[in-house]
Amino acid sequence: MKTVDMLQSHPKGKSANLEAIAACVAACLECADACTICADACLAEEKIAMLRRCIRTDLDCADICRTTATILARQGERNMEIVISQLHACAVACRICATECEQHAEMHRHCRICASACRTCEMVCHQTISMLQGGKTYEPDH
Amino acid sequence: MKTVDMLQSHPKGKSANLEAIAACVAACLECADACTICADACLAEEKIAMLRRCIRTDLDCADICRTTATILARQGERNMEIVISQLHACAVACRICATECEQHAEMHRHCRICASACRTCEMVCHQTISMLQGGKTYEPDH
Amino acid sequence: MKTVDMLQSHPKGKSANLEAIAACVAACLECADACTICADACLAEEKIAMLRRCIRTDLDCADICRTTATILARQGERNMEIVISQLHACAVACRICATECEQHAEMHRHCRICASACRTCEMVCHQTISMLQGGKTYEPDH
Amino acid sequence: MKTVDMLQSHPKGKSANLEAIAACVAACLECADACTICADACLAEEKIAMLRRCIRTDLDCADICRTTATILARQGERNMEIVISQLHACAVACRICATECEQHAEMHRHCRICASACRTCEMVCHQTISMLQGGKTYEPDH
């Protein structure tokens, strides 16, 4: 199954943006998967005491990416403010998780792969925000 | 079990803010519960075709509130940017879901209760953001 | 907001079982909350290396309880097989997480509170299975 | 990123079963994605009143698949009883969701794709249960 095929089967799935939406859903799901496994791998490392922050940030990032993917995959009656503010929170979590994992990337291969998935997801979230806004910059409501 | 007791049992659970954090976790969980049940009740209404947007917004708000509660409940190695941007996304989702549910509040009791849970959660999220920032206004990083 | 009020506002919310369903939803949400905070507290303990299994089990139990609560809260077009097999998985996770937390209960207050929330949730899941089955024993389909 | 690479980067990721575990995680994530989009597409169909049960079952199946993927992706300190009972609940949800979606498969392409993702996930969950048990049949504890 391809996410884009599934999105196109929606009664209103004729948007020009479907490929980009599908790519962002995929990036969020990959990042959630990477962060879940990185947290679990850190928990099994001998020097676990040094990895507390990494585990915590992985768990937060996984939860946020999973929710963002779910919301973004829904096309009907979409509210742009909800989608964009959640994408923004996701980009923030990915940036901070990437920065944390990069500090352990030489030591642990799981942190290296996870940092890369986070950087990709951060970038794709920003691109999706721009696309949904027609190029405008995100301005929160307070 | 009280969330606040559980938070106090944390090795670093001595913060003056614990009661407020526990109240925000509780408001998010209540709102997630209300939105889940409201979506399900809308789905069973005879005039379901008028409730499409309400169901969609309920589902998004439930997912976002649940994730926000989970992240907020973690005290160790907390990253303020992640917590605050997720609280912001939660406040946005609650505001929009409340506005939608309020339009059906006279007709459907589940929308009335859900709108009230959303308004409470929106308010408590904003208070928690202010508290965590020491009174400063939220400014996103782009 | 009370979960039971929300359940009663459903167009088909006239079941005699609503109080019991609401109690099971509440037990699952409390247990998810306790497990999330216990995992986070364990992660902050000095002797973290002894708590790897506890953290892992807490995370699994939290995820399972959250999903079980969501599914159980939906009344419309409920499929009993899905609900009962998920309640069964939840009871298993709660039993195993309780057994693990009980081993650290003298040392850590968060494990003590969490074990108690798990035992309650395990018992309530079994009661809900019995109720939904009209007293019959759960028999999986393979 | 490939899930199997990430699993192999775990300190204990030397299991002969890693490819099979990764395939099951992928099947659960695909099914969760398909069910989320199918529910959303059903909600936008003109004849929504006929699709109430399909939407409900999609939502349950999506939630269960997502949780199952998360738990299965964790390798450290894994408790077999938890993993297997959750895989069992996942297989049940996938079977029932597939049966429901198959009834609308001629009318709606999203139901057709979703039914197929559910059947795949159901099969892979059963294979994973067999593998983890060394070929024995699943016997619940009550």
Among chain D residues, CA nearest to B56: D40
pLDDT in the model for residue A30: 97
Among chain A residues, CA nearest to C63: A63
Sequence-ordered list of residues with C-beta below 8 angstroms from that of D30, at least 6 positions apart, any chain: A1, D117, D120, D121
Per-domain boundaries in chain D: 3-132
Phi, psi at D105, each rounded to 5°: -70, -30
pLDDT in the model for residue D130: 96
pLDDT in the model for residue C142: 42
Give CA angle at B65 (C67, C129), nearest 5°.
Answer: 25
- When pLDDT is averaged across residues D116-142 and rounded to a whole number, the result is 84
Q: How many CB atoms lie within 10 A of CB C127?
A: 16
For residue range B91-109, list pLDDT tens digits in order.
999 999 999 999 999 999 9
Q: Which of D64, C88, A7 is nearest to D56 (CA)?
A: D64
Report the neighbours of C using a cutoff of 3 or more CB pairs below 8 angstroms: A, B, D
For residue range B26-65, list pLDDT tens digits in order.
999 999 999 999 999 999 999 999 999 999 999 999 999 9
pLDDT exceeds cutoff 90 at B137: no
Q: Say how far apart CA A54 and CA A118 lie, in whole Å.
A: 13
Tokens (6 digits) for C133: 């089955």
Instruction: Note the ipTM here.
Output: 0.94
* Prediction pTM value: 0.95
Higher pLDDT, D140 or D60: D60
For residue range A13-37, list pLDDT tens digits in order.
777 789 999 999 999 999 999 999 9
Chain C stretch 9-38, residues whose beta carbon is closer than 8 A to a beta carbon of chain A = none
Give the position of tokens 């109430």. D52
pLDDT exceeds cutoff 90 at A141: no
pLDDT exceeds cutoff 70 at A121: yes
The chain-wide mean pLDDT, for chain B, equals 93
Question: What is the DSSP-derived secondary structure letter of residue C50?
Answer: G
- When pLDDT is averaged across residues C28-49 and rounded to a whole number, the result is 97
Grade residue D124 by pLDDT with cuts at 50, 70 and 90: very high
pLDDT exceeds cutoff 60 at B84: yes
Single-letter amino acid code for the residue at A122: E
For residue range D27-63, list pLDDT tens digits in order.
999 999 999 999 999 999 999 999 999 999 999 999 9
Name chain C contacts of D86, Cβ cutoff 8 Å: 60, 64, 89, 93
pLDDT in the model for residue A137: 55
User: Is B52's CB within 8 Å of D59's CB?
Assistant: no
Tokens (6 digits) for A91: 């980009």
User: Is B92's CB within 8 Å of A85's CB?
Assistant: yes
Q: Which of B114, C53, C85 is nearest to D90 (CA)?
A: C85
Among chain A residues, CA nearest to C47: A49
Q: Say how far apart CA B73 and CA B21 lie, in whole Å.
A: 7
C41-57 burial: b if 16+ Cβ within 10 Å, else e: bbbbbeebeebbbbbbb
Distance of residue D49 Cα from the nearest chain B Cα, in angstroms: 7
Q: Which class would CATH give C3-132?
A: mainly alpha
Q: Which of B39, A110, A107 is nearest to D4 (CA)?
A: A110
Largest CA distance in chain D: 52
Helix, strand, coil share (%) of chain A residues, nearest 5: 75, 0, 25
Which H/E stretch holds residue B93?
helix B80-102
pLDDT in the model for residue B15: 73
Grade residue B2 by pLDDT with cuts at 50, 70 and 90: confident
Grade residue D142 by pLDDT with cuts at 50, 70 and 90: very low
pLDDT exceeds cutoff 50 at C42: yes
Whether residue C22 contacts residue C128, with contact meaning beta carbons closer than 8 Å, is answered with: no
Whether residue B7 contacts residue B13, with contact meaning beta carbons closer than 8 Å, is answered with: yes
Grade residue C74 by pLDDT with cuts at 50, 70 and 90: very high
Name chain D contacts of A33, Cβ cutoff 8 Å: 1, 3, 6, 25, 29, 69, 73
Which runs of E-coded beta strand occur in C35-94? none
- When pLDDT is averaged across residues C40-59 and rounded to a whole number, the result is 97
3-state DSSP assignment of residue C137? coil
Tokens (6 digits) for B63: 């997912």
What is the dihedral sign for C-alpha A11, A12, A18, A22?
A: negative
- State what percent of residues in chain C have pLDDT above 70: 94
Q: Say how far apart CA A77 and CA B106 lie, in whole Å.
A: 22
Q: Which of C2, C5, C6, C107 to mutate to test the interface with B (most CBs of B within 10 A)?
A: C6
pLDDT exceeds cutoff 60 at C127: yes
pLDDT exceeds cutoff 60 at D138: no
Higher pLDDT, D2 or D54: D54
B96-99 contacts at long range (C-beta below 8 A, 24 or more positions apart):
B96/A79, B96/A81, B96/A82, B96/B57, B96/B61, B97/B35, B97/B57, B97/B58, B97/B60, B97/B61, B98/B122
pLDDT in the model for residue A135: 58
pLDDT in the model for residue B135: 58
